[in-house]
Structure 1
Amino acid sequence: RDVIPRSKLLRQVSSGIYVSDAELWQEFRDQVEQVEIRYVPMDPSVRYEDEAFSVSDTEIEDYYGSNQEEFEVPARASLKAVVLDKTPTATDTAAAYAEAQELMQEIREGGDFAEIAQAESADQPTASVGGDLGVFSRGRMVPQFDSVVFATTPGQLAGPVQTSFGLHVIEVQERWSQDSVKARHILVPITRTDESEIQLLTLADSLEDLGEEMALDQAASLAGLTSTELDIAQNFPFLPGAGQVSEGADWAFEEASPGDVSPVFETSTAFYSLELVSSEPEGILPIEDAKTAIESTLLFDAKMNQAQIDAQELVALVRGGSVLSNAAADLALDVRMAGPFSRRDFVAGIGRQNAAVGAAFGLGIGDVSEVVPTPANVYVIEVLTRTDADSTAWLTQLTEQRQSAISIRQQARLGEWIEALRASADISDRRDVVLAPVDEDAIPQMPMLF
């Protein structure tokens, strides 16, 4: 029922998208055109010793002053943390196994597999068709499932088989060859039992109550838990065992004072509580702490400059009539081969979609480039072979290519629209009202009638 509204939204958001033939031709060329090259990498980081260059304090100070944005540090907080993992326990796993084995026993005693799958399987798409997986070939399923299926005689039950999805009760129905079977399954998820869930929630509540009265490590000890110490950055609040803890970070950086203990927060994988030990606001890294990094950067810049000078000498020899490989040997430089590769390929020793790749596709067969600097290296390139795009082949697939390109741009436009909507949304936090305890002595109010 929601397919039509989604399609309408996509049409509205992505209206006006047009992809020209020129764009599609270039995309086609990027995919199919290939070159094979001989190249000389200068490898400045390896070729030149640090001692061959010097960096003065004045250069360091000038760089620091001109590149302050490189030394911005986010706000940081030192915390104590207690994490309650939501992962099912060994007892929960045993309960899931017991459930799966009960289902197998029910089927062995005459129960209808399809009816049981419809009623019990957690795999909703297949549950609706009696657990039917259809016909599939060897290697299509996850390894644990696959190996059991192809070792089971048709008409037999197998399992429970544990995979990342849960526990599977499997019936192999038919086999046409050693590499193709028809099977059905019942998925029993490994989740916390009601009792286990209540124990976890009770423990989280106890931790929160204790945290209101004492330090977090004391509260953790009384609850039979352990606390850890860690630092988090405001721009990347990650807590091992709990993942991204944005809610806890908001508390630590915007509400808490040193010594405060947070309420218990929740992520998809855990409950957690924090104690703020100390915090530091965002700022600029002092030059004393940045000096080593700046010196390394300036040394590399000096090596890159020298590499371009030496590469220019190599180009001059080639322009004077020498063959690239011979000129490189005269200067004790390595010559390497690469390709064939396209504009979009990752090229070992060169990288992906950088100036060196672009230069290679701008040369004719037998041509040698000028000096080609990239952020990490300097190259001189010779093209050995090239395969150009076939316009006839392009026209043959143009309709499908255009549809695919428009679909990709539609999805990108929709993503941008959703992000813009989130950024402009005016969200009111009313948790204090919604979650406020009910006053049992209050007189119930009749709802207003309209």
Structure 2
Amino acid sequence: MIRAMRASAKWVMGVLVIAFVGWMVFDVGMDVMGQGGYRMGDAIAKVNGRSIELQTYFTALRDAQERQRREFGSAPLTQEDQQALEDAVLENLIQEILLDEEFRRRNIRVTEEEILAAARTSPPPEVLNLPIFQTEGQFDLQKYQRFLAAGTDPQFLQALEARYRQEIPRAKLYDQLVADVYLSDAKLWQAYRDQHDSVRIRLLALFPDAVIPDSEVSVTDAEIRAYYERNRSDFERPAVAYLSYISVSRIPNAADSAAALERARSIRREILAGADFAEVARRESADSASGAQGGDLGEVSRGTFIPEFEQAALALRPGQISEPVLTPFGYHIIKLESRSGDRFRARHILIPVELVGEHLEQVDAMVDSLDRYGAEQIDPTALDSAAARLGLQIRVAPPLREGERLTLAPYVIPDVGIWAFEARPGDTSPVIEARNAFYVFRLDSLIPGGVPPLNEIQNEVRRAVMRQKKREALRQLADRLALDLREGATIADLSEKVGVPINTVGPFTRANPPALLLDEPKVIGAAFGIPVGKVGGPISGENAVFFVEPISRTLADSAAWREQLPAQRERAIQIARESRVRTVLSSMRATADVLDRRKELERAQREAEERARELPRPPRPVVF
């Protein structure tokens, strides 16, 4: 059988997508890097000394891109999304090498007998719905096994063998990792109590800035420098790009809106004249999801849609067609199918308000000129020249930090966050298309990432030193308040002494504390550990010093716990297993020696292109 699996190739292979076991899936898709100043045999990354070659990387990218298209359609990705997907694809290849090393370390192998058994008894989920393997609409295991035994499609068999050679070792590793996962009744009872024990408390929260005035804290220059030197990593920051831009608006005007309204009215007249609403929706609606269903939005409850749409829909009688209804999405033609109480079912046809006619031609012409005169230039004055030629105003964008997306409120502008940190000061961007406009940006300056010199962030460091000194002063104040407690003071007395009000908080559980205590586990522990009516503190938390007085406490019901224990155990063990696997995989990744050469290769590519541009062009041949 194995020899037959390796013999040759043909059709069902398109159905098989090589995948990890569920806990190791990386569901990614992406585009491919440009080609040029590198060779396909170059390593794009190294993992513990083992190379990931460009050819391997490109193949993975093409496969992932095809998956992306099948699952999400062919809509273009922004550069930020594409960068994230590239990172995920490379991470996938890194994990494959790390897993292979772990298999070797644990002596995990796969035998031909194991592959045969898996092929015969565990068909891939993708084939279960193939008609060739079904009898009366149900998957027929015997029919599938006869197909395997016949060996009539060697390519399918090859793909199947490759899949099990990949998945079986992962399944064995999973079994080894989780074999000793065990949760005692005591641990499960504690987890149940964390969800169901509840408490109400009086809470006195003393925040340094609220309790210790600035006037009580002095900070010297020597203290600032010493703090800066001890805590340099706290002040590390990403690179920052400063940008200017010009833009051509693509926001529709009154003429565009009038054209959309007339189109909506024309479609409504067609339906009233007898055309089938569903067929017209499939042909005309800009809402592709509902349009494919004949405009059907399904049965929904009141409050599902935006008010303008819902008010118009609910004003109709079943079967009635609305006049065009304007919402932020465009004009809707609505048909109410049915209504019962607060639930209703409707269809709609969406006609967007978009650029048309003369306005569209004007914008297209402007964008062509924007591209010709302003985009992708290395002369810093090109943006000024393009702005003057086109009558556009040069604007300044807010500082853009590396790793973030540019927002020109209220719009998020794609691609700039990648381009700006690959360009050189003075360069202009390609034309970037956003929802509201077409943009060309110029990189005016770039501040590298890292730790700024002290003179640039002296005030920030001063504030950090002041916070540290205030926390120390607050600790000393809290110690004096604790002495007052021991001498008989109440939490109300402490509140009055420091001028900070008491908060009554809860009831809350250990697993779901209030927002104020999300980062304060010691306070939560005290709330459930201190006897009711007693005051505990001072408790030094992450953000403040606390005094806690439990008011009331409700304990979990042990009988109810035992009743749900089997289901809880099953869920908890699965969670513990997944946590074990994630911990091991994270440890493997954290200790791996990984060299990512993408930026190095991209830099070599750009330099090769620049050298090519600088070469003199060969003379034209003489034409006789």
Who is 2:473 aligned against? 306
Question: Which residue of the partner structure matches residue 510 of structure 2?
Answer: 343
CA-CA distance at 1:88 after TM superposition: 4.3
Question: Structure 2: which amino acid aligns with 1:338?
Answer: V
Instruction: Name the SS of the counterpart of 1:158 in structure 2.
Output: coil
Residue 238 of structure 1 is aligned with which of 406, 417, 434?
Answer: 406
The match for 2:22 is 11
Q: Does 1:180 align with 2:347?
A: no
Distance 1:115 1:391 in 2: 60
Aligned-partner Cα distance in 1 for 2:502–2:480: 15
Cα distance in 1 between the residues matched to 2:446 and 2:254: 38
Deviation at 1:397, TM superposition (A): 7.4
1:158 deviation in Å? 1.3
Residue type of the alignment partner of 2:351: V
Q: Secondary structure at the match of 2:537?
A: coil
Where 1:59 maps in the other structure, the secondary structure is helix
Q: Residues 155 and 283 (structure 1 numbering): CA distance in 2 closer, same or farther, change over 3 Å? A: closer
Matches within 5 A, 1:83-94: 83-94=247-258
Deviations 1:333-352 (A, max 9, x none): 6433211122354636x342
Decide whether aligned partners of structure 1 residues 280 and 183 sit closer, same or farther in structure 2, where only a CA change above 3 A counts.
closer
CA distance in structure 1 between the partners assigned to 2:574 and 2:382 by the alignment? 57
Residue 365 of structure 1 is matched in structure 2 by: 532
Higher strand share: 1
Indicate how the Cα distance of structure 1 residues 381 and 257 shifts in structure 2: closer, same or farther if over 3 A, else same.
closer
Helix, strand or coil: the match of 1:357? Answer: helix
Q: 1:219 offset after TM fit, Å?
A: 0.7
Partner AA of 1:207 in structure 2: L
- Residue equivalent to 1:189: 352
CA contact (8 A) 1:10 1:410 kept: no
Task: Please point out which of 437, 443, 446 is paired with 1:279.
Answer: 446
**1:217 and 1:226 in contact (8 A); partners too:** no
Q: Name the CA shift for 1:285/1:200 in 2 (closer, same or farther; >3 Å).
A: same
Residue 289 (str. 1) matches residue 453 (str. 2)? no
2:407 is the counterpart of 1:396: no
Change (3 A) 1:128 1:304: same
Give the direction of change, closer, same or farther, for the CA distance of 1:268–1:343 in structure 2 (3 Å limit): farther
Letter in 2 for 1:185: H
Q: What's the secondary structure of 2:536's corresponding residue?
A: coil
Map Cα deviations across residues 36-79 of structure 1 (whole Å, 9 max, x no partner).
01122223322222222222221111001111123334433433
- Are the counterparts in 1 of residues 235 and 452 from structure 2 also a CA contact under 8 Å? yes
How far does the alpha carbon of each residue in 1:314-361 deviate from its partner, in whole angstroms, 9 at most, with x for none? 33333445544356556766433211122354636x342423234323
Alpha-carbon distance between aligned partners in 1 of 2:483 and 2:442, rounded to the nearest angstrom:
66
Give me the whole-angstrom Cα distance separating, in 1, the residues matched to 2:317 and 2:576. Answer: 45
The residue type equivalent to 1:297 in the other structure is A
Structure 1 residues 397 and 331 mapped into 2: Cα distance closer, same or farther (>3 Å)? same
Task: Say which of 267, 280, 287 aligns to 1:116.
Answer: 280
Shift in CA distance, 256/128, structure 1 to aligned 2, threshold 3 Å: closer
CA contact (8 A) 1:173 1:183 kept: yes
* Contact kept in structure 2, 1:76 and 1:231, CA below 8 Å: no
Partner secondary structure for residue 284 of structure 1: coil
Residue of structure 2 in register with 1:50 after alignment: 214
Letter in 2 for 1:240: L
Q: Following TM superposition, by how much is the alpha carbon of 1:25 offset from its aligned partner in structure 2, in angstroms?
A: 5.6
The TM-score, its normalising length taken from structure 2, stands at 0.57
Q: Matched residue pairs, number? A: 421
Identity %: 32
Q: Does structure 1 retain, via aligned residues, the 8 Å contact 2:197–2:554?
A: yes
Distance 1:80 1:71 in 2: 27
TM-aligned CA deviation for residue 408 of structure 1: 12
1:352 is matched by which residue type in structure 2? L
* TM value normalised by structure 1: 0.77
After superposition, what is the alpha-carbon deviation per residue over 1:390-429, rounded to whole angstroms, capped at 9, x for unaligned?
Answer: 344345276389559959997997xx99xx9xx9796987
Match of 1:370, SS state, is strand
Counterpart of 1:238 in structure 2: which amino acid? L
Secondary structure in 1 matching 2:477: helix
Q: CA offsets per residue over residues 99-125 of structure 1, 9 Å max, x none?
A: 221111111112222222233333344
Deviation at 1:373, TM superposition (A): 1.8
Secondary structure in 2 matching 1:371: strand
Instruction: Report the AA paired with residue 22 of structure 2.
Output: R
The one-letter code sitting in structure 1 at the alignment partner of 2:350 is L
CA contact (8 A) 1:239 1:245 kept: no
Aligned counterpart for 1:387 among listed residues 554, 569, 594: 554
- Note the 1:22-421 alignment, pairs <5 A: 28-177=192-341, 179-193=342-356, 199-211=362-374, 215-230=382-397, 232-235=399-402, 236=404, 238=406, 240=408, 243-244=412-413, 246=415, 248=416, 251-258=419-426, 260-266=427-433, 270-326=437-493, 328-329=495-496, 334-345=501-512, 347=514, 350-354=516-520, 355-394=522-561, 395-396=563-564, 399=567
CA contact (8 A) 2:200 2:553 kept: yes
- CA distance in 2 between counterparts of 1:169 and 1:397 reads 53
Counterpart CA distance in 1 for 2:435 and 2:418 is 17
**How far apart, in 1, do the equivalents of 2:523 and 2:17 lie?**
43
1:439 corresponds in structure 2 to: none
Q: Secondary structure at the match of 2:369?
A: helix
Q: Is the 8 A contact 1:343 1:353 kept in 2?
A: no
1:201-242, CA deviations, whole angstroms, 9 ceiling, x for partnerless residues? Answer: 442231122235853122123223222124534413525276
Unaligned runs of 5+ in 1: 434-450
Task: Work out which structure has the larger RCO, using CA pairs closer than 8 Å and 6 or more positions apart in sequence.
Answer: 1
Change (3 A) 1:392 1:175: same
**2:39 counterpart residue number:** none
Q: Which moved more, 1:262-271 or 1:152-161?
A: 262-271
**CA distance in 2: counterparts of 1:188 and 1:404, whole angstroms:** 50
Answer with 104-113 or 235-244: which moved more.
235-244
In 2, Cα distance between equivalents of 1:206 and 1:367 = 76
What is the Cα deviation at residue 168 of structure 1?
Answer: 1.7
The 1-side partners of 2:202 and 2:319 are apart by: 61
**2:212 is matched by which residue type in structure 1?**
Y
The question of whether the paired residues in 1 share the 8 Å contact of 2:256 and 2:356 is answered with: yes
Greater CA drift, 12-21 or 306-315: 12-21
SS of 1:159 mapped into structure 2: coil
CA contact (8 A) 2:294 2:347 kept: yes
Aligned equivalents of 2:572, 2:313: Cα separation in 1: 37
How far residue 196 of structure 1 moved from its aligned partner, in angstroms, is 5.8
Task: Specify whether residues 328 and 270 from structure 1 end up closer, same or farther in structure 2 by C-alpha distance, changes over 3 A only.
Answer: closer
- Superposition deviation, residue 140 in structure 1: 2.4
Partner Cα distance (1:74, 1:103) in 2? 53
Deviations 1:278-304 (A, max 9, x none): 333335333233222222222222222
Contact 2:301/2:343 (<8 A) preserved? yes
Where structure 2 has 5 or more consecutive residues not aligned to the other structure, the ranges are 1-11, 26-170, 590-594, 610-624
C-alpha distance in 2 between matches for 1:89 and 1:405? 59
